[in-house]
């Protein structure tokens, strides 16, 4: 029996090939239990995470979240799981928006650090300008 110590984080499960491989191994009855650090490491989209947990429960695969000491065997834990999941999802969305805002602002006012990276075919002058 394989045990995956931790599932990589990510907003959507569709863009996580190793998570998809994990689910496929569960569907093929190769895994009985998944141990992961926290709900936020399992996923950052509340609906997709709860869908995955429900599918795993139907396959009789338990997910154990170490930090929260929660097993997914019982459906009454879904509410307890959904709270940190919703927080992780909101945090991920806020971080994404902040990064986008910072990039747009940096490009618009010329303060982007991307301007100072090495550009192939160009050189920097004495002041470091491209």
Residue 41: domain span:
13-116
Specify the pLDDT at position 25.
Answer: 96
pLDDT, one tens digit per residue, over 67-95 is: 888 888 877 777 777 777 777 778 878 88
In sequence order, which ranges of the chain are alpha helices (DSSP H)? Answer: 17-27, 39-42, 46-58, 77-109
Nearest to 36 by CA among 69, 58, 76: 69
Indicate the DSSP class of residue 34: E
Number of domains within the chain? 1
Residue 75 belongs to domain with CATH number = 3.40.50.1390
Q: Which residues pair with 63 in a beta bridge?
A: 34
- 10 sits in the region (left: phi over 0; alpha: psi -120 to 50; else beta) called left
Residues 6 or more apart whose CB falls under 8 angstroms from that of 96 comprise 11
Q: What is the pTM of this model?
A: 0.57
pLDDT at 39 over 60: yes
Question: Does residue 76 form part of some domain?
Answer: yes
């Amino acid at each position: 029996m394989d045990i995956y110590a931790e599932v990589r984080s990510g907003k959507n499960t569709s863009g996580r090939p190793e998570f998809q491989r994990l689910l496929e191994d569960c569907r093929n009855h190769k895994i009985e239990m998944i141990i992961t650090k926290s709900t936020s490491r399992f996923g950052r989209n509340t609906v997709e995470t709860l869908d995955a947990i429900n599918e795993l429960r139907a396959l009789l695969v338990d997910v154990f979240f170490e930090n929260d000491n929660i097993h997914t065997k019982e459906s009454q834990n879904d509410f307890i799981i959904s709270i940190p999941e919703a927080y992780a999802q909101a945090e991920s969305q806020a971080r994404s928006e902040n990064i986008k805002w910072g990039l747009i602002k940096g490009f618009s006012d010329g303060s982007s650090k991307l301007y100072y990276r090495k550009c192939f075919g160009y050189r920097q002058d004495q002041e470091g300008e491209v």
